[in-house]
Amino acid sequence: MSDFWSMGGYARYVWPCFGFAGIVLLWNIWSARRHLDAAKIRAARALAMAASEAP
């Protein structure tokens, strides 16, 4: 099992490599969710303003 973690001695490259890849994937999910939530809030606000301005 420790063979697996040491990756033939290359562990200090292999694991940060996969780690960074994972970070990028997670960032994508987080960022996309945040973007959608912000868009929904802005849309709700725009609708509310339009409704309050209606005669």
Partner 1 sequence: MWTWFYKLASPPYVFGAAAALAPWLFGAAALAIAYGLIAGLGIAPPDYQQGEAFRMIYVHVPSAILSVTVYTVMAVASAVALIWRIKVGHAVAAASAPIGASFTLMTLVTGSLWGRPMWGTYWAWDPRLTSELILLFLYVGVMSLRSAFEDPARGDRAAALLAVVGVVNVPIVHFSVVWWNSLHQGATIVTLEGPKMPGSMLWPLLSMWLGFMLFYGAVLCIRVQGEVLNRERQSAWVREAIKS
Q: Interface with partner 1 includes 16 (CB under 8 A)? A: yes
Cα 53 from Cα 55, distance rounded (Å): 6
CB atoms within 10 A of CB 14: 14
The answer to whether the CB of 10 falls within 8 A of the CB of 18 is no
Give least dist CB 13 to partner 1, A. Answer: 5
- The amino acid sitting at 8 is G
Q: Interface with partner 1 includes 29 (CB under 8 A)? A: yes
For partner 1, the binding residues (CB under 8 A) are 4, 7-10, 13-14, 16-18, 20-21, 24-25, 27-29, 31-33, 35-36, 38-40, 42-44, 46-47, 50
